[in-house]
Amino acid sequence: MAFIDFWKKIEPKKENKFAHATYDALFTFFFKPNLTTSGKGVHIRDAMDLKRTMIMVVIAMQLCYVVGTINIGYQHFMALGVHSSFFEAFHLKLVFGLVQLLPIFVVSHLVGLGIEFYFAARRGHAVEEGFLVSAALIPLIMPPGIPLWMLALSIIFAVILGKEAFGGTGMNVVNIALLSRVFIFFAYPTYISGDTPWIAGLDLENKVADYNWGHLMFNPLFETIGWSTFQDGHPIIANFSGATPLALGYQSGWVVTDPATGEITGGILSQFSALQMWMGGIPGSIGETCKPAIILGGVILLATRVASWRIMLSFALGVAVMGLLFNAWQATPYMNVPWYQHFGMGGLLFALVFMATDPVTAAQTNTGKLWYGFLIGVFGMMIRVMNPAYAEGWMLAILIMNVFSPLVDHFVIEGNISKRMKRAKQYAKGS
């Protein structure tokens, strides 16, 4: 019996709304729709549907997950002053990262998809799994030590008020992943801002490593093999600082040197090199640190035409324009950061590739996409450089432009109508 015959045989009755919604979601995940347009005529035929489009975005994120997992462990052991080489005690860094990331990943999917299934059953329609991409994005934009109950609460808020209240998949006004992050930012700011949230597994009050059973359960295995183990209560280094490049940049700019010796005494370069920020060996959100991984994801999205190159390009141009203006102004230390170095700091590239290009909340017209991306770059840089309370900027800039993207499209369409009317009147006069 063919696999599809088995699935058809176990199909529940449609009267059982929740069971049928669950069945339909799994069935359409494995098989393409059997209702297709004719091969003749003017219909456009394409192998991509909603689920496959979302899967391509998830595939594009996978390297961010891999590098982010390892960096969680790397940053933890850097705070302890041990295993400072990237590949030293690699097994500990990998296991530590997995223990921190997997619960976040599971909670994100269970809570979000659970809400999707519930509303699909209540409304009597198929599960659209519109949360699939958001569920994959949310762990990547969170700190590695975020409390799981707080994460669940933010997802419930984002999905219900930001999406289901507007009608579900394809109807949301703002990016759901960013809405969950902004909920935590305003409701529980100490868990997602400042220097402390970006390195997990530390008891900052007693200044020691703080492992749970998920970490320590691997110690017997590692001892048997003769590998290094987790040492609960290991002291944190005396000069530990969880400061990110963004925080250092706002405090003292790109670099501060001693006039007499030329030695670097402050600024971003006092703790991080440009290469280090580019490759991802820095504190930050789980998936936003490694820029090559993000760029590879962007290439996949562009090659499959899932994301708009117009938004990406205009976003980068907006950052460059504002960065050059700040470099010329130099009213604060942060304005001294070279404009091109901003691309290696914080979540700029991640926002450019995965957040601003959300096809639902972005502008829809081609010209509108150019303005939409450009204004995100401009507003994001203004918030990042000029706002002392928030050293990033892309979350707020994208959400602002999500709200105004319909207005951007409106002006573009009205402009096109006006141009066509002028051409029609000129043609009428000429004839």
The per-residue pLDDT for range 41-64, each reduced to its tens digit, is 665 555 556 667 788 899 999 999
CA 395 to chain centre: 9
CB contact at 8 A, 243 and 78: no
Question: pTM for the complete prediction?
Answer: 0.89
Which pLDDT does position 286 carry in this prediction? 94
Dump pLDDT digits (tens) for 86-118. Answer: 889 999 999 999 999 999 999 999 999 888 888
180 Cβ contact list (under 8 Å, min separation 6): 134, 138, 151, 154, 155, 157, 158
Cα gap 299→305, rounded to integer Å: 10
Which pLDDT does position 59 carry in this prediction? 92
Which pLDDT does position 208 carry in this prediction? 92
For 209, the 3-state DSSP assignment is strand
Instruction: Compute and round to an integer the Cα radius of gyration of the chain.
Output: 24
Cα gap 246→219, rounded to integer Å: 36
Which pLDDT does position 36 carry in this prediction? 60
Overall size of the chain counted in residues: 431
271 Cβ contact list (under 8 Å, min separation 6): 241, 243, 245, 248
110 Cβ contact list (under 8 Å, min separation 6): none
- Looking at residues 331-360, what average pLDDT do you find? 93
Which pLDDT does position 31 carry in this prediction? 64
Residue 339 per-residue DSSP state: G
CB contact at 8 A, 31 and 51: no
Mean pLDDT: which of 2-11, 122-131, 312-321, 413-422 is highest? 312-321
State both tokens at 277.
Answer: 């920020």
Dump pLDDT digits (tens) for 263-303. Answer: 888 889 988 999 999 998 899 999 999 999 999 999 999 99
Q: Tabulate helix, strand, coil % of the chain (nearest 5).
A: 60, 0, 35
- Write out 228-289 in H/E/C secondary structure: CCCCCCCECCCCCCCCCHHHHHHHHCCCEECCCCCCEEECHHHCCCHHHHHHCCCCCCCCCC
